[in-house]
Every structure is written in C-alpha cells, then in structure tokens.
Amino acid sequence: MSLQLLVNALVNAALIAPPAMAFSLLFGILRFPNFAIGAYITVGAFAAYSLNVSLGLPLVVASGGAMIITAVVVWLTHVVVFRPMQDQSPVTLLVVSIAAAFIIENVIRLFYSADVRGFNIPLERPWKFMDARITREQVEIIIFSGLIAVGLHFLLAHTRIGRAMRAVADNPMLAAIRGVNATWITAFTTALCGLLFGLTGVFAGLDLVIEPLVGWNLTIPIFAAAILGGIGSPYGAMVGAILVGLAEEATFLIIPSTYKVGVGFAIIAVLLLVRPQGLFGTLEIKK
Amino acid sequence: MKLSFTRRGLLAGSTAALVTPSILRAQPAEIAIGSLTPNTGGGGPFGPNITASHKRVVDAVNASGGVLDQQIRLFQENSETNPETAVRAADKLINVNQVLGIIGTWSSSVTLGIMPKCQSANVIQMCTSSSADIPVADKKGLVFNFQPLSPIWGRAIANLAKGRGIEKYAMMALNNDFTRSMMDGFIEVVGKDALVQEPFYYNAGQSSYRSEVTQLISQNPEAVFIPSYVADFTAVYKEIFRQGYEGTVITTSLSTGNQFKDAVGAAADGVIHGFPVPAINSPAYKEYLGEAGLEDTGSVQHPFGTAGRDQMSTLLLAIEKAGSTDRAAIAKAVWDVTTGEGKETVYNVADGLAALRAGKEINYSGASGSTEFDEEGMVLGRDFQLSEIKDGKDVVLERLEF
C-alpha cells in the first residue's frame, strides 16, 4: 500500500470518526440505531452553507453556527419524534428514524433544491512529502477529529456529567435511583451529538459537495465504524473509523472501485456473524 | 322528504338529458400532449427552457387555429430528473390526461423508465437522451431522440481533444450506461495505445473518491477524461485538484455548468468540456433566439430549449401530415416532415403547417440541428463544441459542425 493510500485512509477516518463516536453515544443513551444521523449531517452542511455563502460569514463562524443549529435540530427531533415513542421497540424506533431522515432531507430539498453547492473558500493545492500529498484543510480535519476524540474521552472519563452519561447508558434505572436526572442527561447527549454531526456536515461539505444526500452517503461507513469498534463504545468507534478507512482504501487495490460501497456492508455483516459486540464493546447479557 | 314528479318536470328533465351530449359534442375537440421535463434535479438547469419552448410553440399554433382544426392542450409535469417521479407523472399523463405523446424527457433513466408505459399505451416519446439502450427498448417505432447517443459524444469529444495534440490519457467514468458507452466511444477514437492504464468506473454517492483519484493520476497522464454528471464530477474534481494533478481534465459540459463553477470557484479554470450544441448559424436557431427573447451573442444558448422547440414543432407537423391522431400514423409522419431530400425546408412550425396545407412535402430543419432521423428514430447528427473554463467562463475552443 502506497503512502498516499495511507493518507487517504487517515482523512477518511478523520471524517467518519466524530459522527461514529456521536452515533455510539446516542445508541448508548437511547438504545436504538438512529438512521437519521445522515440527515443531521446534511442539516449541518446546509446550515454552514447558508451562514457562509448566503450571509457571507467566515467559515469558522459559520461552522460554529451550523453546529449549534444542528444540535437544536437533533434535540428537537428527539423531543418531538423519539421521546414520545421511547417505550417502543428498538426496531420500531429504527424505522421511525428512517422516516425522520426522509422528512428532514426532503424539507432541505424543498428549500435548497437538489443542486450541488460548495463553501465560499478557494480549493487548495496540496503539500507534498515523499510520494504523498495532503492539503492544509485535510490536516485540519485530522487535527479536529483527534481533538474531539481526546475531548470526548476527557468528558466521559473525568467529568461529573461524563460519569452521569455513562451511568445512564449502563443502567438508566439505577442511575435515576442514584439521583441522576436522565432527561437532562439525554438532552445534553443529543445536543452534544448534534454538535458533532453539525461539524461533520461542514467537513463533508469541504471534502465532497453540499447536496441533500451528502449525509446519507456517509451513513454506512459511520455505521460500520461504530459496529466495528463496538456499538455504544466511543473509543471503539474511533478505532473502527480508522479500520474502515483503511479497508475502503485497501480493497480498491484488490476489487473494482464500483464495489467499494459494499465494504461497509461487508464489515457489518462479518462482524455481526463473528463478533457482534465489536472490537471494544461488551456482550450484552439478556435474561 | 317526499319527492314528487310532474309530467312537465319529467319532460324538462328528459329534454335536458337528451340535449347535454350534443352540447358536449359541440365543444371543440382537443389534442392532448404531455411535456415531461427535468425542471429540478440534475437536469434542472435545462428543464425550464424545454418547458418554455413546448409552451411557446403550442401557444403560437393554437393562436392560429390549431392543428387539424383542433386546439392543442399541453399538460406539463416535472420529472425532477428522477425515474420514479417520472413514471408516476407519465401514469397521470397517459391515463388521466390521455396524451398522445410525452415529450421533453432529458435523462436516459427517465426516458427508459417511462418507456414500458408509453409503449403499452401507444404513446409517442420525444427526448434528448443518450443511452444506446433507447432504440433497443423501443419496439414500436414510437421514440424519437433529438440528441446523439453517448458513443457519438465520446467520439466527438475525443476528436476535439486529439486535435489539441493530447496523446496520453487516463480515464474513469461514472458507472452508468450513458457514461460507460461515452468512454467506449472516446477510446475508439484515441485508441487503446493512448491509455496509460486500464479505464475504470466509480459509483455516484460514494463517501470519498480519494483512492479512485489516486489511481487515476498515478501514471501522471497528459489528460484525464471523466464522463460524469455534475454531482459526482464536482466531488471528483475537488479531489483531483487537492491531489495536485496539473494535466488537462476533460469531461462533458453537463458536469461543468454554473453549479460546478460556483462550487469549486477559481479552481474550475482549465477544465475542458464538450457536448452537442445547436447549429448557431442556422435560421431556425436565430428564430429561436427571437422567440425566447435572447440576444444573438454568437455563442451557444439554451442547448436543450432549442430541442424542446423542435420536439413540439415536429410533433405538430407530423399530426398535420398524418391527418389524424392515430399514433402509429403520426410516428411514421415524423420521418416524412423531418427527413429526406428534395423537400421544401422549413424552419418553424407556422411555415411548415402552411406548406403542408398547400400540399407540399416539407423537411423541418430545427433550432437544435438538422433533425434528420435514422430508421430507429435517433437524430443523425448534431454540432459538437469543446470549451475551456477561463476566469470562470466557458470559452469556445473548437466546434465540429454536422
């Protein structure tokens, strides 16, 4: 594998690691796989586009605004759609999340059409070292992704609210008995994940193009990374993202590019058969 | 409530019932035609011009008395450049509006998607699509394509690229029939020896195109040819630029419209693109500019709007020529009014109708091109144009005239 393919894999991983961690956090708290994450990412991309291109704000400011807007959308979706249905089975909620994704995407399509868009920043030529090339923008995405991973680790391991999040994820009833306000913790987690999905929307808009399906196109690799790392385990999601990124790049050396989209599906299928708890997840004991 | 009938009331009611059908018969009959255009989605930049052209021709003909003494009723639907939406719209046009033709479809997937329904209902189709499957799927001789098939695009763009002295190419194409067969046409002209590596395909909607681009430029070819649509090409091109490729990027003009230029900004400069264009020196094209309220800038405007004018004009002339609304007779008459030598050339529907009514044979020469059809209903030739993006604008490099 050439150095360029390793760089490519690293950039892929940096793109899907934050949303994979957010997906895992959401799953830990809400206990169902939320297919609306692609739509949340699309919201982030279009919110940043509106702030950056339509209102003329610098991309850094637009990104912050997009993260806040996405956090509000994710929290509102939780309050309006998922919370009233929290007693339903995970499969029901999964189907509802697909419906929510369709609704959000089509609302975006209604206002923005299906046109292709981009941020108001110039494309940059790469830095070259040895045989590999990487742009400043891609280095920034990798650094931000790494910072998010470290920040999330600090939050979960060393803060009071992080411990409360883990407690609610582990056993909501016991956490409630110990005085943890599960409603507030859930609201905080959904908003935090919304911030990460919003940021991913900005990254995806920079890396690909801004269009109503931009988030949906990332959904399968994100799921694969989260499942590979162990669903519900944010650290595992980070490692899973790197492995999925590598797998997508490496398979191109062996099989035609048109099958690349199947790599994520293949990883999900094999893991569910061989190690359903993923690399870092714990096997759930059902009574 | 008690209902009572009197003899007088019964007589009045019966008379009304008898008279009603004759009132309906007295209404002028209408010829229903469906216009199914890509007003949003991938064809969004072109669809509204096609729609407007259809309407202008119909309005003009209706104002001068219609065809076969009947008014034309136009039913317009948006395909959203989406086959599923298009099939639902075609269902409505065929079963509710009872149209005799559906014209204006743009993408091959839409044209092919609605074809089974059109064929089973004997509905004529007129399109600007490029898949080589279109003539194969048309079993009844009811489909007329106003755009060359994609291998012809590939051959024309290759000829224009070769003319610029480019000798070594690498290629990758979006994985669909339109772009695959365009790549085949390109290779036919440049030859396999001109390829620095095996061509390959990618899918739309991938989460990244990094490894594909790394592979594409790995041999540092003089030029890369990427048959594509705007959404995938924009993402691919961003990656090509970011990976530092400095050779020539060639694609179709469908991928390099304003959406692309806005999305990539100044980095778009240098991209070369080609596609079939109207014959800008033809009298019909000049007339079209006047009808659409456009200035003659000497460059191509409304590449698909012109085809829309030609579709509706051809269909109405064929109805007049056939002398009936029998679909098979109209389809046959399309060749009569567009193809063949020794006929009076007409450049608009009004002159065509007048000539037909005077008993003359006509050859309609359109705004999009000569509109001569082969025996499968595919247009025989169109002008092609190669342009380069310079300072965010398309600058014409060369034009191949049919």
How confident is residue B23, by pLDDT bands cut at 50, 70 and 90? Answer: very low
> B173 pLDDT exceeds 90?
yes
Nearest 5°: the CA angle A275, A278, A279 is 105
A112 touches chain B (CB under 8 A): no
Take residue A237 and report the two structure tokens written for it. 């999601």
What's the angle, vertex CA B222, arms to CA B216 and CA B228, rounded to 5?
50
Q: Which of B233, B226, B237, B235 is nearest to B201 (CA)?
A: B226
Write out the two tokens for A249.
């790049």
Q: Average pLDDT in the A172-177 region?
A: 84
Q: What is the pLDDT of residue B330?
A: 97
Asked if B19 contacts B271 with a C-beta cutoff of 8 angstroms, the reply is no
Mean pLDDT computed over B351-359: 96
- Structural tokens at position A32: 């169902």
Higher pLDDT, B272 or A232: B272
Are A258 and B201 a contacting pair at CB < 8 A? yes
Q: Are B225 and B255 in contact (CB under 8 A)?
A: no
Interchain CB distance below 8 Å, A115 and B206:
no
Q: Is A208 on the interface with B (CB under 8 A)?
A: yes
Per-residue pLDDT, B24: 45
> Which pLDDT score, from 0 to 100, does residue A285 have?
55
Structure tokens at B281: 């020196």
Read off the pLDDT band of B303 (50, 70, 90).
confident
User: Is B211–A115 a contact, with Cβ atoms under 8 angstroms apart?
Assistant: no
Query: Considering only CB atoms, which chain A residues are within 8 Å of B203?
Result: 257-258, 260-261
How many angstroms separate the CA atoms of A124 and A268, rounded?
35
* CB-CB contact of B357 with B71 (8 Å): no
Tell me the pLDDT of chain B averaged across its residues.
Answer: 90
Q: Is the pLDDT of residue A202 over 70?
A: yes
Residues B137/B127, Cβ–Cβ less than 8 Å: no
Crossing angle of helices B349-357 and B305-322, rounded to 10°: 10
Residues B123-153 have pLDDT tens digits of 999 999 988 889 999 999 999 999 998 888 9
Mean pLDDT across B208-226? 94
B389 chain-A contacts, CB cut-off 8 A: none
| Residue B240 in this model has a pLDDT that exceeds 50 | yes
Q: Give the distance from residue A275's alpha carbon to the nearest chain B alpha carbon, in angstroms.
A: 25
How confident is the model at residue A232, as a pLDDT? 67
Between chains, do A113 and B263 touch, taking CB under 8 Å as contact?
no
Is B243 part of the contact surface with chain A (CB cutoff 8 Å)?
yes
Residue A89, sorted as left (phi over 0), alpha (psi -120 to 50) or beta, turns out to be beta
| Interface mutation vs chain B, best among A208, A218, A261, most B CBs within 10 Å | A208
Q: Give the closest residue to B384 by CA, choosing from B201, B157, B175.
A: B157
Which chain A residues are Cβ-neighbours of B262 within 8 angstroms? Answer: 117-118
Substitution target in B208, B209, B261, B271 with the highest count of A β-carbons within 10 Å is: B208
Task: Say whether A122 and B266 touch across the interface (CB within 8 A).
Answer: yes
Q: Do the Cβ atoms of B259 and A217 come within 8 Å?
A: no
pLDDT for res A261: 76
User: pLDDT band for position A238 (50/70/90)?
Assistant: confident
Whether the per-residue pLDDT at B14 is higher than 70: the answer is: no
Q: Name the residue with higher pLDDT: A61 or A286.
A: A61
Q: Quick one: pLDDT at residue B1? A: 44
On the question of pLDDT at B323 being above 60, the answer is yes
Give chain A positions within 8 Å (CB) of B212: 252, 257
Query: pLDDT band at residue B112, thresholds of 50, 70 and 90?
Result: very high
Residue B69: predicted pLDDT: 93
Would you state the pLDDT for residue B55? 97
Helix, strand, or coil (residue A282): coil
Mean pLDDT value of segment A246-265:
80
Question: Shortest Cα distance from B393 to chain A (angstroms)?
Answer: 17
Identify the closest residue of chain B to A208 by CA–CA distance. B235
Radius of gyration of chain A (CA): 19
| Token couple for B320 | 């007049």
Minimum Cα–Cα distance from B267: chain A residue = A123
Residues 71 to 110 of B: which have CB under 8 A from any A CB?
Answer: 80-81
Place of tokens 């399309």: B334
Pairing type for strands B30-37 and A132-134 reads unpaired
Contact at CB, A116 and B231, closer than 8 angstroms: yes
Report the pLDDT averaged over residues A111-132.
89
Per-residue pLDDT band at A38 (split at 50, 70, 90): very high
Residue length of chain A? 287
To the nearest whole angstrom, how far is the Cα of A217 from the nearest Cα of chain B?
5
* DSSP reduced 3-state for A285: coil
For residue A20, with 0-12 CB atoms within 10 Å meaning exposed, 13-18 middle and 19 or more buried, which class applies? Answer: buried
Q: Is A216 on the interface with B (CB under 8 A)?
A: yes
Q: How far apart are CA A74 and CA A68, in angstroms?
A: 10
Interchain CB distance below 8 Å, A123 and B41: no
Average pLDDT on B23-31 reads 61
Banded pLDDT at B111 (limits 50, 70, 90): very high
- With a pLDDT cut of 70, the percent of chain B lying above it is 93
**Token duo for residue A57:** 């704000």
Q: B258 and chain A: CB distance < 8 Å anywhere?
A: no
CB contact under 8 A, B214 and A207: no
A 248-267 residues inside an 8 A Cβ radius of B: 248-249, 252, 256-258, 260-261
The token pair at A1 is 């594998």
pLDDT score of B3 more than 60? no
Q: What is the 3-state secondary structure (H, E, C) of chain B?
A: CCCCCCHHHHHHHHHHHHHHHHHHHHCCCEEEEEEEECCCHHHCCCHHHHHHHHHHHHHHHHHCCCECCEEEEEEEEECCCCHHHHHHHHHHHHHHCCCCEEEEECCHHHHHHHHHHHHHCCCEEEECCCCCHHHHHCCCCCEEECCCCHHHHHHHHHHHHHCCCCCCEEEEEECCHHHHHHHHHHHHHHCHHHECCCCEEECCCCCCCHHHHHHHCCCCCCEEECCCCHHHHHHHHHHHHHCCCCCEEEEEHHHCCHHHHHHHHHHHCCCEEEEEECCCCCHHHHHHHHHCCCCCCCCCCCCCHHHHHHHHHHHHHHHHHHCCCCHHHHHHHHHHHHCCCCCEEECCHHHHHHHHHCCCCEEECCCCCCCCECCCCEECCCEEEEEEEECCEEEEEEEECC
Conformation bin of residue B271: beta by default, left when phi > 0, alpha when psi is -120 to 50: beta
Q: What distances in angstroms separate CA A251 from CA A222, A245, B155, B361, B384, one per listed residue?
A: 17, 10, 33, 62, 39
Instruction: Report how far residue B354's alpha carbon sits from residue B174's, in angstroms, rounded to the nearest whole number.
Output: 47
CB-based burial label for B216 (10 Å; 0-12, 13-18, 19+) = buried
Q: Give CA A10 to chain center in angstroms.
A: 16
Does the pLDDT value for residue B298 go beyond 50? yes
A173–chain B nearest CA distance, Å: 39
Our CA-based measurement puts residue A41 at a distance from the nearest CA of chain B, in whole angstroms, of 13
Q: Name which of B202, B208, B262 is nearest A258 (Cβ-Cβ).
A: B202
Asked if residue B16 has pLDDT above 80, the reply is: no
CB-based contact (8 Å) between B220 and chain A?
no
pLDDT at A237: 85
Supply the Cα-derived Rg of chain B in whole angstroms: 24
> Does the distance separating the beta carbons of B201 and A260 come in below 8 Å?
no
Report percent pLDDT > 90 for chain B: 69
CA-nearest residue of chain B to A250? B211
Which stretch, A122-131, A200-209, A234-243, B292-301, has highest mean pLDDT? A200-209
Distance CA(A91)–CA(A97), nearest Å, equals: 10
Closest CA to A30 of A109, A91, A73, A90: A90
Q: What is the mean pLDDT of residues B297-302?
A: 79
* B219 at A interface, C-beta within 8 A: no
Distance from CA of A51 to the nearest CA of B (A): 15
Contacts of A233 (CB under 8 A, 6+ apart): A24, A278, A280, A281
Rounded Cα distance, A64 and A194, in Å:
12
Q: What is the pLDDT of residue B259?
A: 86
Q: Judge whether residue B67 has pLDDT over 70.
A: yes
Of all residues in chain B, the one with the smallest CA distance to A221 is B207
Give the helix/strand (H/E) hosting A228: helix A216-229
Among the ranges given (A155-164, B71-80, B187-196, B315-324), the one the predictor scored with the smallest mean pLDDT? A155-164
* Residues 312 through 371 of chain B touching chain A, CB cutoff 8 Å: none
The confidence score (pLDDT) of residue A286 equals: 53
CB contact A138 to B (< 8 Å): yes
Model pLDDT, residue A97: 96
The dihedral formed by the CA atoms of B236, B238, B239 and B245, expressed in degrees to the nearest 10: 110
Q: What does the pLDDT read at residue B22? A: 46
Contact A117 B202 (CB under 8 A): no
3-state helix, strand, coil in chain A (%, to 5): 75, 5, 25
Is pTM beyond 0.80? Reply is yes
Question: Which chain B residues are Cβ-neighbours of A138 within 8 angstroms?
Answer: 242
